[in-house]
Amino acid sequence: MTQATTTSLSRVAYLRSALAATGSGLLKAFNANKTSWVGLGVFLIVAALAILAPWIAPYDPLDQNILFRLKPPSAEHWFGTDYYGRDTLSRILWGARISLAIGLLAIGSAMLLGTLIGMIAGYYGGRTDIIIMQIMDVLLAFPSLILGLIVVAMLGPSIANLVIAIALTAIPPFARIARAPTIAVKNREFIEAGRALGYSDTRLMFGHILPNIAPEILVMGSLWLATAIRVEASLAFIGLGVAPPTATWGGMIREGFENILDSFWLALFPSIAILIVVFALNLLGDGLRDAIDPRLRGEE
Amino acid sequence: MTAFVLKRLGFAVITLFAVLTIVFFIVRILPGDPAMAILGDQASQEALVALRARLGLDQPLYVQYVQFLGGVIVGDWGVSMVSGRPVIQEILKVLPATLELTIVSLILGAVVGVPLGVWSAVRRNKLPDYITRMASLLGLSFPAFVSAVLLLLVFAIQLRWFPVISSGQGTTLGERLRDLALPAINLGLIMAAYITRVARSAMLEVLNQDYVRTAYAKGLAFATIIWRHCLRNAMIPVVTVVGLYLGILIGNSVLTEIVFNRPGLGKLIIGALNQRDYTMLQGMMVIYTLIVVLVNLLTDLTYGLIDPRIKYS
């Protein structure tokens, strides 16, 4: 067998074991706290509804019908219609796509970048650590909604820019979360052994340290996804969301708010939608965090 | 103690300087010409040039930067590009309204959150604990504008107990309280949700300590053990976390002020963003940074008051 095949085989093997370690860590956490399953279930249902929106939405979310404007909930329009006669239910279903897409993209990238930054800071320590964490602390000092507000106002409200703005506010917390366990893990014997075998820093970090800290990062990811969806809706409410007529939950509440005295359902239904998703994600992440937090482990 | 305060002050100054630098450059790369934003796109070229000169926008960037930093230090934060009044005056005019709202909410949050957290911890894994945990998780799932809209729908529009728009200008104490009630309840309940959770987990850690068992063994009253021995030790993480949640509180106050149409920093920053009022935005960010840095400093210093064991070294 050639040298190259051996390396690639061992790489596949350790990647597999790394994934298995992360998976079993998460599964244990799930079983320790049953409310996490409820949170995951609700979130998956919402995600499925969002994906299936083009097929299950009863109307086109942009279809205006002036004759049917501001109609209360009825058999034809379960959640009523808005100022332009658009079907609220269809807009909520389509709006879910925007909220979830922006949330997942923003938190996915913040998780990747933040974890990488935190691992580098924790692994190399010393001056690298001090400088990186100082920058993170400065970013953390700033209220995230205000930072998001300014970045979106600066770059213009588009899906890509909202993703950047939200990701930027979420990178420092992930860096902090990744740094602490990296410091704890890097001095353990198995890392020492890896170093003695001549493994590279990259291999040690990604193959051996990352699987150990991954469950914690993923749990924080679910909690931050909840925050991201909340921030996106808040920005849309302020008027810095994806531009109308695209349906966004925050934007719908903003429009509904203008007609709140006579058509309260316009603001009510998207509000409930946001609440369900954010609550489900918090239920998921909170239960998992309780289960994997070493301070609370074994106490139930 | 003095050395500790000086060290913390030094760190605060560095953070402030770093954020001010970021703020300066962020505001400068906002798209759109502020002179055109003020005069409109029909303005003549001469008028635009003259206005840019008056606002100092024709100076090289580093000159503007030095002027900006110097101005911040001496309290000259420039004049609003829209109203023409000094930025610091505009901010100081609405700052009390925002401070009033956030401080009252924070007190409300602590008054509701701490006892609930303690109760939940003491009754761990019993019905009160489950209910409190679910309620607090639900509370922190609310985007502040959603809860604000719901409160407005129920208490101002349906029940008519409170005004729909809180002017924040009431002269008598009764008027002020009525204006403040719904916005403060909105912010306060969200804070209570956060505080309940921290208080609960902090109490859980303390309840397992040996000295608590000793206190029980000595035959001390249950209430004395909980409120005097446990809570005092559990308060340190609570204070830290409340300090950390300041960012959330500020963000939520912006949304609350918008929904209740209440004057304050929130409405000011939205106005400044819409009108591309660079100097006002800069000033807003300076004030937000000052508040955050100051509160973090106060949080650090508060530890000593709660826990006399902490030595500032």
Percentage of chain B with pLDDT > 70?
91
Distance CA A234, CA A253 (A): 10
In angstroms, how far is CA A78 from the centroid of its own chain?
30
Which residues in chain B are closer than 8 Å to A141, comparing Cβ atoms?
A: 15, 19, 289, 292-293, 296
pLDDT value at position B47?
A: 81
pLDDT score of B179 more than 70: yes
* B187 interfaces chain A, CB cutoff of 8 Å: no
Find the range with the poorest average confidence among A175-184, B26-35, B77-86, B267-276. B26-35
Cβ neighbourhood burial of A298 (10 Å; 0-12, 13-18, 19+): exposed
pLDDT value at position B9?
A: 81
Higher-pLDDT residue of A15, B290: B290
pLDDT value at position B39?
A: 72
Is A233–B205 a contact, with Cβ atoms under 8 angstroms apart?
Answer: no
Taking a contact as any Cβ pair under 8 Å apart, which residues of chain B between 120 and 149 contact chain A? 125, 137-138, 140-146, 149
Which residues in chain A are closer than 8 Å to B281, comparing Cβ atoms?
A: 150
pLDDT value at position A108?
A: 95
The β-bridge partners of B86 are B79
Q: What is the pTM of this model?
A: 0.83
pLDDT value at position A300?
A: 33
pLDDT score of B168 more than 70: no
Which residues in chain A are closer than 8 Å to B145, comparing Cβ atoms?
A: 233-234, 237, 250, 253
pLDDT in tens, B193-238: 999 988 898 888 888 888 888 888 888 888 888 888 788 888 877 8
What's the Cα-to-Cα distance from A238 to each of A112, A169, A241, B165, rounded to whole Å?
29, 18, 8, 17
Distance CA A165, CA A145 (A): 9
Q: How far is B123 from chain A (nearest CA, A)?
A: 13
Is B248–A143 a contact, with Cβ atoms under 8 angstroms apart?
Answer: yes
Residue B242 DSSP one-character state: H
Taking a contact as any Cβ pair under 8 Å apart, which residues of chain A between 171 and 230 contact chain B? 226, 230
Residue B260 DSSP one-character state: T
Helix, coil or strand: residue B23: helix
Work out the average pLDDT over B247-259.
Answer: 86
Residue B183 DSSP one-character state: H
Average pLDDT over chain B reads 82
Q: Which two tokens stand for residue B244?
A: 């950390």
pLDDT in tens, B68-105: 888 888 888 878 877 888 888 989 999 988 888 999 99
Taking a contact as any Cβ pair under 8 Å apart, which residues of chain A between 77 and 106 contact chain B? none
Is A150–B258 a contact, with Cβ atoms under 8 angstroms apart?
Answer: no
Does residue B259 contact residue B149 with C-beta atoms inside 8 Å?
Answer: yes
Work out the average pLDDT over B18-46.
Answer: 74
What are the backbone dihedrals phi and psi of residue B310, each rounded to the nearest 5 degrees, phi first?
-70, 125
Instruction: Output the tens digit of pLDDT for each of chain A's 300 residues.
Output: 445 554 555 656 666 666 666 667 677 767 767 788 888 999 999 999 999 989 988 888 877 777 777 778 887 878 888 777 788 888 999 999 999 999 999 999 999 999 999 999 988 888 888 888 888 877 777 777 888 887 887 777 888 989 998 998 889 889 988 888 788 877 778 888 888 888 877 777 787 778 878 888 888 888 899 999 999 999 988 888 888 788 888 888 888 888 888 888 888 899 999 999 999 999 888 878 777 765 444 333
pLDDT value at position B105?
A: 93
Cis peptide before B163 (omega within 30 of 0): no
pLDDT value at position A297?
A: 42
First to last CA, chain A: 51
Q: Which two tokens stand for residue A291?
A: 């289960």
Count Cα neighbours of A170 within 13 Å in the Cβ-side half-sphere: 32
Find the range with the poorest average confidence among A101-110, A219-228, B39-48, B263-272. B39-48
Cβ neighbourhood burial of A186 (10 Å; 0-12, 13-18, 19+): buried
Q: How far is A273 from chain B (nearest CA, A)?
A: 10
Is B273–A149 a contact, with Cβ atoms under 8 angstroms apart?
Answer: yes
From B15, B146, B289, residue closest to A271, measured CB to CB: B146
Helix residue ranges, H only, B173-277? 173-207, 210-217, 222-223, 231-244, 246-259, 265-274
pLDDT value at position A112?
A: 93
Listed residue (A39, A21, A17) closest to A30, CA to CA? A39
**How much is the ipTM here?**
0.81
Is B149–A279 a contact, with Cβ atoms under 8 angstroms apart?
Answer: no
From B146, B246, B296, residue closest to A274, measured CB to CB: B146
Distance CA B31, CA B52 (A): 15
pLDDT value at position B11?
A: 77
Q: Which helix (H) or strand (E) holds B70?
A: helix B61-74
3-state secondary structure chain A: CCHHHHHHHHHHHHHHHHHHHHHHHHHHHHHHCCHHHHHHHHHHHHHHHHHHHHHHCCCCCCCCCHHHCCCCCCCCCCCCECCCCCEHHHHHHHHHHHHHHHHHHHHHHHHHHHHHHHHHHHHHCHHHHHHHHHHHHHHHHCCHHHHHHHHHHHHCCCHHHHHHHHHHHHHHHHHHHHHHHHHHHHCCHHHHHHHHCCCCHHHHHHHHHHHHHHHHHHHHHHHHHHHHHHHHHHHHHHCCCCCCCCCCHHHHHHHHHHCCCCCCHHHHHHHHHHHHHHHHHHHHHHHHHHHHCCCCCCCC
Distance CA B181, CA B189 (A): 12
Higher-pLDDT residue of B154, B175: B154
| Contacts for B142 with CB less than 8 Å, ≥ 6 apart | A275, A278, B190, B193
Pick left, alpha or beta for residue A94 (phi over 0 → left; psi -120 to 50 → alpha; otherwise beta). alpha
